[in-house]
């Protein structure tokens, strides 16, 4: 366990460290014998590159599960990343330093600080050399393999990474108790359902998923749960609970209490817009 003003880290496995940023956004450092892969890069407040350098001597490559503000901060420090081409535009749309600072400061940890971060702590945006990643690609870190699974939904270019050996998936924001499908750049529910069916083909190869928010591992059964919700949303038989997550109007498929605990005991939930259900 290592901490700094901006980051908190904890070992998940011998070779895997989870690192959380100021708003609880999470990335994962996976080490092989030859190199390390940084899965996502937080919001770019404070030097994640320096923090990672304290954790490993290996060369580090950055991969983004998707292009959102709280996942791509390290891109602007490393100057390069691996990302699905469908999310490159999104990554630049979310690169504005004020926006990244705003995200970091929205977290409870940042708000509680005696000396809060300032704009001077934000890594400036820059042009990033992007290497494309696609469904089916494999990262070989030396004795550790991570397989790319495309799960478009939360964004068009969303990917997750499967480690068959440890039986885990690093899932970003692809499928969790608060999956946001109403954002600019999200797919329709109908398309997301197809993505989940593809993801489900890999279900026998892992047990849990580690996501971009929330420290606890999420059971793989959440995929079945989310598939069921997609069906209900498309049939109009879900709870269709009106809400406004981060000020944006949307509907949740299932009623929940404050911390995204479903009242009916299910795990998955999906926030969507009425014009984002069927394929266009």
Place of tokens 């970091």: 104
Tokens representing residue 21 in the block: 């940023």
Q: Which is nearer to Zn ion, 15 or 179 (CB)?
A: 179
Closest residue to Zn ion, based on beta-carbon distance: 68
φ and ψ at 149, to 5 degrees?
A: -120, 125
Region near Zn ion per CB under 5 A, out of 31-39, 46-54, 118-126, 167-175 = 167-175
Region near Zn ion per CB under 5 A, out of 37-45, 60-68, 187-195, 249-257 = 60-68
Region near Zn ion per CB under 5 A, out of 44-52, 68-76, 97-105, 232-240 = 68-76
Q: Are 145 and 15 in contact (CB under 8 A)?
A: no
Kindly state the number of chain residues that form the binding site for Zn ion, as judged by CB under 5 A.
Answer: 2
User: Alpha-carbon distance 64 to 273, whole Å?
Assistant: 25
Q: Which is nearer to Zn ion, 137 or 173 (CB)?
A: 173
How far apart are CB 58 and Zn ion at their closest, in Å?
Answer: 27
How far apart are CB 105 and Zn ion at their closest, in Å?
Answer: 18
Who's near 212: CB < 8 A, 6+ residues apart? 25, 26, 27, 40, 65, 70, 71, 171, 172, 173, 176
How far apart are CB 185 and Zn ion at their closest, in Å?
Answer: 9
Q: Are 140 and 161 in contact (CB under 8 A)?
A: no
| Per CB under 5 A, 163 contacts Zn ion | no
Who's near 23: CB < 8 A, 6+ residues apart? 43, 70, 103, 104, 105, 106, 107, 109, 110
Q: Which is nearer to Zn ion, 93 or 232 (CB)?
A: 93
User: Do strands 208-211 and 179-180 pair parallel, antiparallel, or not at all (unpaired)?
Assistant: unpaired
The CA angle 272-273-278, to the nearest 5 degrees, is 90
Q: Which is nearer to Zn ion, 49 or 213 (CB)?
A: 213
Which position among 6, 68, 133, 220 is part of the footprint of Zn ion (CB under 5 A)?
68
Q: Which is nearer to Zn ion, 154 or 166 (CB)?
A: 154
Report which of 241, 242, 244, 247 is spatially closest to residue 264, judged by C-alpha positions.
Answer: 241
| Per CB under 5 A, 173 contacts Zn ion | yes
Per-residue interface string for the shown chain with Zn ion, residues 75-104, x marking contact by CB under 5 A: ------------------------------
Q: Which is nearer to Zn ion, 15 or 171 (CB)?
A: 171
Q: Which is nearer to Zn ion, 71 or 193 (CB)?
A: 71
Q: Are 116 and 105 in contact (CB under 8 A)?
A: yes
| Per CB under 5 A, 254 contacts Zn ion | no
Binding footprint of Zn ion on the chain (CB under 5 A): 68, 173
């Amino acid at each position: 366990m290592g901490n700094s003003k901006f980051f908190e880290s904890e070992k998940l496995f011998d070779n895997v460290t989870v690192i959380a940023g100021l708003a609880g956004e999470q990335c994962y450092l996976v080490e092989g014998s030859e190199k390390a892969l940084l899965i996502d890069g937080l919001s770019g407040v404070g030097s994640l590159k320096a923090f990672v350098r304290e954790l490993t001597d290996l060369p580090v490559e950055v991969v983004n599960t998707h292009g959102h503000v709280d996942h791509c901060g390290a891109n602007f420090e490393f100057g390069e990343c691996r990302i699905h081409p469908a999310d490159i535009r999104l990554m630049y749309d979310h690169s504005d330093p004020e926006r990244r600072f705003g995200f970091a400061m929205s977290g409870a940890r940042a708000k509680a600080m005696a000396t809060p971060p300032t704009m001077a702590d934000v890594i400036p945006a820059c042009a990033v050399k992007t290497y494309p990643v696609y469904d089916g690609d494999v990262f070989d870190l030396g004795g550790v393999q991570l397989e790319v699974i495309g799960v478009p939904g939360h964004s068009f270019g969303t990917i997750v990474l499967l480690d068959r050996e440890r039986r885990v998936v690093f899932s970003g924001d692809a499928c969790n108790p608060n999956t946001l499908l109403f954002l600019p750049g999200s797919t329709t529910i109908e398309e997301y359902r197809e993505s989940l069916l593809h993801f489900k083909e890999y279900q026998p190869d892992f047990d849990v998923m580690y996501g971009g928010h929330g420290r606890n591992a999420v059971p793989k059964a959440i995929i079945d749960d989310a598939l069921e919700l997609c069906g209900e949303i498309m049939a109009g038989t879900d709870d269709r609970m009106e809400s406004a997550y981060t000020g944006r109007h949307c509907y949740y498929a299932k009623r929940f209490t404050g911390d995204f605990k479903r009242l009916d005991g299910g795990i998955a939930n999906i926030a969507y817009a009425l014009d984002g259900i069927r394929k266009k």
